[in-house]
A and B are shown apart, each in its own frame.
Chain A
Amino acid sequence: MNIRNSKKNPYDVVVCGAGHAGCEAALAAARTGAKTLILTGNLDTIAQMSCNPAIGGQAKGQIVREIDALGGEMALNTDFSAIQYKLLNTSKGPAVQAPRAQCDKKKYQLRMKHVLEQSSNLDILQILVTGLLVKKGECIGVKTSLDVNIYGKAVIVTTGTFLRSLMHVGENKSEGGRLGDHTAKGLSTDFQKYGIKLGRFKTGTPPRILGSSIDFRKTQKQYGDENPVKFAFYDTRTDEEMFHVERKSMFHVEHNYEKISQIPCELTKTTTATANIISNNLHKSPLYRGNISGTGPRYCPSIEDKIVKFGERDGHRIYLEPEGLGTDEWYINGFSTSLPLDIQASALKTIPGLENAQIIRPAYAVEYDYACPTQLSLSLESKKIASLFFAGQINGTSGYEEAAAQGLIAGINASHKVLNKPAVIIGREIGYIGVLIDDLTSKGVTEPFRMFTSRAEFRLLFNHGSSEIRYLHVHDLANLISAHRKNKITYKIELINKWIKLLNNSRISLNKTYGDLLRSNQKFDYPSEFSSLSTGIKEEVIYRVQYEGYLKRELQNIEKFKHSEKIIIPKEFSYDGIPGLRKESIEKLNSIAPDTLGHASRIPGVNPSDIEILMIMIQKKSYHR
């Protein structure tokens, strides 16, 4: 075995967990030049989609495109395993339109596993991590279940829901982070030993049924878009960058990435009978018996919660989604539950189309430990233990996309730390990934955190198509994409700016420019040279010109926002004894130790007047970035 288990010859980066966060973390670390090892309890569950068989959706779709702009893998992996595409919110403006794809789960996993296998600088090992190796406040590796210690100059924890995880089906309890999988016990104890505060969350997943048991005559077909919006940016990539796995292996391109044959989903809804069965059996739900102490996500309620909180209504929507091309397993979206198996079965049968539904994978709720993310700096490094990074669901988030984004950033920063390069911090004004990490580290979480467009104050500028433009500057720091792609993006930006100017300045009639007509919603023909540009570029130019007024204001707001982000709070700054600062604010500021004044201003419970006092105190000592 050539796994480096000696102190003298450690890995640069060790990643614990190979879910959506772990995969991106390992790839980012390896791609930026760090000797990396990824550990997983089960090689066959790499990049497993534990819940719904879809990537993207509102705010998440934008995140995936941003991951692609940063050089992550999720977008390509989705495009190569997609079986249906849908752009959400097409009745709204470009900023809040979001791509989503149904994926072949197995294909998604297999391709990602293969990407890991093919990646240079990256080793893989199936082993359980049982504890941390910490020396003088710095993490130097991990303990494992096979009695070997593995050493790394930086460690990234991406263990998802596996810490002290407990699954509930009715009154039945079993240990495990996912049905059929193990739980990680030792890690929680070790975290606590080193002063890392843990919390407890709960999430759930619906049952899966056999497609042949669905009566498709009673359900409504949900088709994908005829002209899909893909996740990865293809106009700036070489073939090498597109098919980096497929070229090298048997994993050949069976999907033409241009065109796929799409599989529809199905829509049905619950009935009065469903509501009755659930209401009559609430006492069997661990959630309502008080057996579950973890907090669950409000926006992703179980069917019990929906019936109790919102009543029967005229039925709750149930989407049936295929889990892949090579299986007849279907996902019952909207029917997450922790009721006993027999109740799940009888409740399902009251839903039109599911009268004969045959459950092949029961629904369950899962409780798990998360590590409070306010203990992290903006690079996702722990403030308690140096060289230890956290990413993904362990930080209290939910969603594959949120996890992957964190993994990518933690991977870059762990690698950068080891290689003595500056940390990559994504500001809130850059995109959803910035908002995600800033919210987690400054506000913390009170329920599993999901991204929404409304969390981003500058969302009008975060249209998914502009991701490459917004993240280009990061590549001055991190080597994640090829020089070729960087040049292509730079050229794309120039082209876009040129056309924005042209449309705004050239007159189509005596006193009207193209821009004027666009803004007054009038019909006209674009110059033929413009029409021949790629769709992505055209859409970006039109958006910027048509909504110029709104977008300019957002840019001005960003300038204001940046001002307080520039005021650095020095690490040694002491909040104690500052006149006028309230005691509870001092406590919060001490525990979160914000990096900038802007960061401090977003801590809940810290008042604007506290910030003013802080500003005076800091400026007195004149620390400036």
Chain B
Amino acid sequence: MTDTIVALATPDSQSALGVIRISGKKALEISEKACGNPAPPPRYVHLTKYKSAQNETLDQIIMVYYEKGKSFTSENCLELTCHGNPVLIKEILNDLLKRGCRLANPGEFTYRAFTNGKIDLTQAEAIADLIGAKSKQALMLANKNLDGNLTNKIRQIQSQILVQQSNIEAFIDFPEDDLGDEKNRQVITSLCDISSELTGLIEFGKKINVFNRDLKVVLIGPPNVGKSSIFNRIIGMDRSIVNHEAGTTRDFIDYKINLGMVTVRLYDTAGIRKAEQQIEEEGIKKTHLLIQDADLVLIILDRSLPYPSGVDLEIALDIKNKKSILVLNKSDLPKNIDMSESNFRHLRTTVVSTNEKESISSLTGLIQNLLLEEYKTENEFNLSVNLRQSSALLKAQNAIQKSLETLEVGNANEFSVPDLKEAISCLNSIVDTKDNEDMLDLLFSSFCIGK
């Protein structure tokens, strides 16, 4: 039925081996004509020679045949493992094109698996996540969804909604049957439960999002307390200019580093004080914006100086509800600071010296721990939720809330049904998809070629 697609599944560079995948009608023909095996038993490893259409041997290869219905794409598939020379691989690919295959589009193998019903949408996304995972945690989460855990959860919630809908429908369509009293209270209670279950999934999605994006860590403090020095020590190079004159850093400077399981974007900012120059005032404004957006704020103070008056209230307002660490710098100098009157005195506090390597590494350890703090709990759902799925969950939850409103203000029950159906269909869009061609294009084109 379908044309035959081919792609290199491994990176296009010199390596020990290269894997070429073929999916479609011509797979068996290629096995016969190029690999000399007209009827390969499926799922066995065959050591053979790859011969071009001109009958010259191109390479000694390993070939595996997967039969229709049982392969990844559900079509006849071949996997050729050849030697990892880009020139050789190009020769083989060209030969395959000559034999009637065509180069696969990005994600086309997975797209075929999806349209052939081998995997659903959450599983297709899980494959994209597996390939793109930047941390071990992300890998583990992607694997859960590949198992269908999210799909199962969604199906389960859908059927719970359906039960409540049928409780309502029964009393509409069978008004004279002996059904007992209408179960409005029970319906409301169940819908509330469903709503909070959805909220739970959405919140969980937000939490695990830390593994899929750069986390923002912002260094703030009064001028000249050593923010830039600490910044440079953490990233391990001199990126920020350090000077004794207060107000050296006028704009912010950022740098991306890997800290264990997460990727962090670290920001060095202008010192917060009453600005003396206009350019500096601009910098301070930007700092406030950064703080609003931050995942973690490091407040740096100079431990060797008396507590700076005048600035802390302003910052304290900004960091309300933010994760933050109070960093007292210059621990190698005598202590002069008195925190007893400070708004920051209850913050988690650490003491560092830019001259002591160990104190910096314990600071980075602390940053990591704090960023992952809420994730330390068990993965209560045993699944993963990405942004697309999260937004569909949110829509479903809104619909449930609307139907609850209808029931609670005492409007007739039938008015709550369209929202219940809406919720079911939102959940459906997570697993399967209806009239959303753009989303599918976007989803599958994010794959690398060969998947």
Contact = CB atoms under 8 A, between A and B. Distances in A.
Q: Determine if chain A interacts with chain B.
A: yes
Interface of A: 58-59, 88-89, 91-93, 95-96, 299, 313, 316-317, 319, 452-454, 457, 459-460, 547, 550, 553-554, 557, 564, 577-580, 582, 607-609, 611-613, 615-616
B435 A612 contact: yes
What 10 pairs across the A-B complex have the smallest Cβ distances?
A: A93-B412, A608-B434, A580-B115, A579-B2, A92-B412, A452-B173, A454-B169, A89-B175, A88-B175, A317-B178
B414 interface: yes
Contact of A96 (B414, B428, B437): B414
Contacts of A615: 435, 437
B276 interface: no
A72 to B, nearest CB: 23
Interface in B394-441: 406, 411-415, 417-418, 421, 428, 432-435, 437, 440
Contacts, number: 86
A404 to B, nearest CB: 20
B21 interface: no
Interface in B1-44: 1-3
Interface string B186-204: 0000000000000000000
A58 B115 contact: no
A316 B418 CA distance: 32
Interface in B113-138: 114-117
A582 B117 contact: yes
A161 B393 CA distance: 48
Contacts of B175: 58, 88-89
B177 interface: yes
Given A95-B414, A607-B432, A616-B437, A579 B1 contact: yes
A607 B117 contact: yes
Interface residues of B, number: 32
Interface of B: 1-3, 112, 114-117, 169, 172-178, 406, 411-415, 417-418, 421, 428, 432-435, 437, 440
Most B C-beta atoms less than 10 A away, residue of A454, A582, A607: A454
A258 B285 CA distance: 79
A550 B413 CA distance: 12
Contacts of A577: 1
A156 to B, nearest CB: 30
A54 B172 CA distance: 19
B292 to A, nearest CB: 35
A614 to B, nearest CB: 11
Given A547-B411, A608-B434, 5 more contacts: A96-B414, A316-B178, A460-B415, A553-B418, A580-B2
A609 B432 contact: yes
A313 B179 CA distance: 11
Contacts of A616: 437
B325 to A, nearest CB: 49
Q: Which of B1, B414, B437 has the most CB of A within 10 A?
A: B414
Nearest to B434: A608
A547 B416 CA distance: 12
Scoring B415, B421, B433 by chain A CB atoms within 10 A of each residue's CB, the highest score goes to B415
B435 A564 contact: yes
B418 A453 contact: no
Contact of B433 (A547, A553, A609): A609
A286 B418 CA distance: 42
A317 B116 contact: no
Nearest to A88: B175
Contact of B437 (A316, A550, A557, A612): A612
A62 B219 CA distance: 69
Given A457-B421, A609-B433, A612-B437, A89 B115 contact: no
A573 to B, nearest CB: 16
A557 B1 CA distance: 36
Contacts of B412: 91-93, 96
B426 to A, nearest CB: 14
Contacts of A96: 172, 412, 414
B138 to A, nearest CB: 27
A579 B112 CA distance: 9
Nearest to B173: A452
Contacts of B115: 580, 609, 613
A365 B437 CA distance: 51
A460 B421 CA distance: 13
A557 B417 CA distance: 14
Contacts of A299: 174
Contacts of B178: 313, 316-317
Contacts of B116: 580, 582
